[in-house]
Structure 1
Amino acid sequence: MTDLYDPNRHDPNRGTPDGTAPETPGNRAGEPAGFGEGNPRTMPPAPVPAPGPAHAPAGADGGAWLPPVPDFVPSPEPARVPSGGEDADRIRIGLWGAPRSGKTTYLSALPIAAMQYRRHHEGGWNISGMTPEANAFLSQGIDLLTRQRTFPEATMGIRDMAWSVQGPQRKGKWGIGGRRPNFVLDIQDAAGEVFGDGHPQQAQLVGRLARAQGLIYLFDPLGDAEEATENFNFLQSTLTRLTAQVRDRQGLIGGKLPHHVSVCIAKFDHPDIFKPSAELGWAKQDTEGAALPRVPEEQGEQYFQWMCDEFRGSNARLVRDALYAYFDRRRISYYATSAVGFRLTPQHVFDYNDYVQPVQADTKQRLRTSPVPINVLEPLIDLEDRVHRDRSRERLANVRRGRKQR
């Protein structure tokens, strides 16, 4: 392989062969600033289908027409979350997904995403292990993805890990006060097969998911096409057992599970997923930095709807129906996720003509450039914030009840 440079390594002297500054989307010769037609490194303009019963306008900004979100009847906002007892200061996040959905790679990319967070935001996030085994996992994962540029081996069985997570100072209401996220993250990394019905370790895993406050669910659009890794096969059985456990301890809220859920639509960088997403206008490019394509956060649920209804269909629709049936819909958020990101040019810019990251070499897949994860840390940040808000409301409610009793 010859294309193994590191776009994360900043070289202020790097430029074009004649010594000029490297080209970026806004300074290429003969091109206007910003993104437009004719720019080979940007995505093609999305076609705008004629409006009809299957489409609804995205808004007044002239954007692409988007599939509508099915109607639903909102239920009252859950008012409580069961207390975690002596472990109330910990946040338990369950990681969930079918075999080969990329759970171990996601966890390995998490500390890399935390280190890269400060590139586009104020402050940064730090992740460290609470045990030697957890630190070893972090170190090995980073080494595999960045130095060896290969993927970690899939998990066998269930692996428990506790990580210490510190975030940047957050501003409070009206810019006053605020807090600095500082928590212990308990993660259970389990092989996808464990989620299947009849697996001897399924009961152990379900018990741990029941004690979690948040769930990261990796939905693999590619694996869903294969019977052995269909997402629904590894979802429904676990959901029914999980609901039974939480119900028996009277933890359901409005008949639904109390967990917050981040649905990660995995492998967004894969051409079979990214190309149709770009051509239909779901992916929008950042207007600065590496010009990375993303699905806007506010369109995450609509993107998942399209993925289930039109791109994948069949069992994927059952996955969506199950999520809506077992969880409060307002407790679910959606992300188009890539653990390794896109291949970038030496100038650290996305190129639509050459963005595929993994290549086959030495009997295994290797990464062409160091990973730039997309929406790997964000689902975790969102879960922590939502769990924190729940706990704050619960503490306030307890204080008010105590005052009334006096």
Structure 2
Amino acid sequence: MQPDPSRGRPDHNIVMWGAPGSGKTTLLAALFIALTRSDNDWKIIGSDPASSDYLIEKTNALLRGKVFPEANMAMERYHWTLIGPALRKLGFWGRKAKPRPPTRIGIGMTDAPGGWFDTGRRLAGGPSAPDGSEDPSRQELLDNLERSRGLVFLFDPIREFIIGDAFDHMHAPLTLLAERMLAAGEFADGKLPHHIAVCVTKFDDPRVLETAEKRGLLTVDVDDPYGLPRVTSEDTRELFHELCQVSASGNADMVLKSLDQFFHPDRIRFFATSSIGFYVDRRTKHFDWDDFQNMLPGEADEDSRIRGQLHPINVVEPMLWLGQRLAAARAATEGS
């Protein structure tokens, strides 16, 4: 009997989206590390050899090599399953409920080079292949955006301060996605049907952390033994807005306005993320405001190195939130 190629494949498709250097590849690589360091009993398992190999290769690069993964130069696809504790369910009239299987959230991740989002002309079918035809990989990316119902949009505040092109990388694919959804009759209420996790990356950078501190947005998880600073999802929207004010182009505010225009408010969630986290001295084992930088910059970006242990912040949470929301939406549809 031939194996079923669809066996073990996830039910939900999540597409990563962002400008070059926004941290897509590093965030993916930090997923395994974040889950392993957490105490919530979630784990990530590859659904095919390529996805498992990715976890092994990129995790080793971060942990042992102390180097950041190279950015993708071509379309890459991963199929993983997040497995966690069983959801509790009360029995009828207080009786003990039957044991339930572990919670499984299937995630199909399509990661494309950030440079593919730079112009509407190229995504819409402008000449980019040698023969003057549309690049089929970009067409595939738009197909994936259309089929997906979960998006991870990465906003890099440091790149925005220096270059200011976040809106450029959002505008083209969002406009073309809306066009497709309208043609498919899935824009009836004036909003896209997708859920979107907006990740404000590089939270560990002093400029981002200090902005959050000055705005009074920092908090500490009482269960975190290291006392690492965080920003709640509700406050991350305010942090996002504040960081938009220093955009090199002055267009970053239109990213937030576009999110509000195209997505349902209850389907947008913000996360202040860091794939490497803050430096924690092994002796003190606690966050130190006078010594928290975990990235050692080099003469060039590719020369940057990771200083200490990795303590990823809000890397798992966007994936779990999307997976749970998509599973709930699917259950509601099937039950109606």
TM-score normalised to structure 1 length: 0.71
Partner of 1:208: 144
Give the AA of the match of 2:180. Answer: Q
Partner of 2:230: 294
**1:108 aligned onto 2:44:** no
SS in 2 for 1:315: coil
- Conserved 8 A contact 1:262-1:383: yes
Q: Rg larger in 1 or in 2?
A: 1
TM superposition shift of 1:159: 0.7
**1:360 aligned onto 2:297:** yes
- Conserved 8 A contact 1:155-1:191: yes
Give the AA of the match of 1:202. Answer: R
Partner of 1:143: 60
- Conserved 8 A contact 1:171-1:179: no
Partner of 2:323: 384
Give the AA of the match of 1:395. Answer: E
- Assess, with a 3 A threshold, how the Cα gap between structure 1 residues 254 and 179 changes in structure 2: closer, same or farther: farther
TM superposition shift of 1:253: 4.6
Q: Tell me which of 324, 328, 335 is aligned to 2:260.
A: 324
- Assess, with a 3 A threshold, how the Cα gap between structure 1 residues 127 and 169 changes in structure 2: closer, same or farther: same
TM-score normalised to structure 2 length: 0.85
Partner of 1:127: 44
Partner of 1:164: 81
Mapped partners of 1:362, 1:301: distance in 2: 33
TM superposition shift of 1:209: 1.1
- Conserved 8 A contact 1:93-1:213: yes
Q: Which has more helix, going by share of residues?
A: 2
TM superposition shift of 1:126: 1.4
CA deviations on 1:365-391 (whole Å, 9 max, x unpaired) are 111112110000001111111111111
TM superposition shift of 1:263: 0.4
Mapped partners of 1:109, 1:131: distance in 2: 19
RMSD (Å), alpha carbons: 2.4
Mapped partners of 1:323, 1:271: distance in 2: 27
**1:99 aligned onto 2:20:** yes
Q: Tell me which of 180, 187, 196 is aligned to 2:118.
A: 196
Mapped partners of 1:184, 1:297: distance in 2: 23
- Which blocks of at least 5 consecutive residues in structure 2 are unaligned? 1-6, 123-134
Mapped partners of 1:305, 1:172: distance in 2: 40
- Assess, with a 3 A threshold, how the Cα gap between structure 1 residues 173 and 283 changes in structure 2: closer, same or farther: farther
CA deviations on 1:248-287 (whole Å, 9 max, x unpaired) are 2212251211000110000000011112211321112233
Structure 1 segment 338-353 matched on structure 2, within 5 A: 338-346=274-282, 347-353=284-290
Mapped partners of 2:90, 2:240: distance in 1: 32
- Conserved 8 A contact 1:98-1:230: yes
SS in 1 for 2:54: helix
- Which blocks of at least 5 consecutive residues in structure 1 are unaligned? 1-85, 398-406
TM superposition shift of 1:362: 9.0
Mapped partners of 2:199, 2:306: distance in 1: 21
**1:225 aligned onto 2:161:** yes
CA deviations on 1:208-256 (whole Å, 9 max, x unpaired) are 01111211110111111344x6110111010011111122221225121
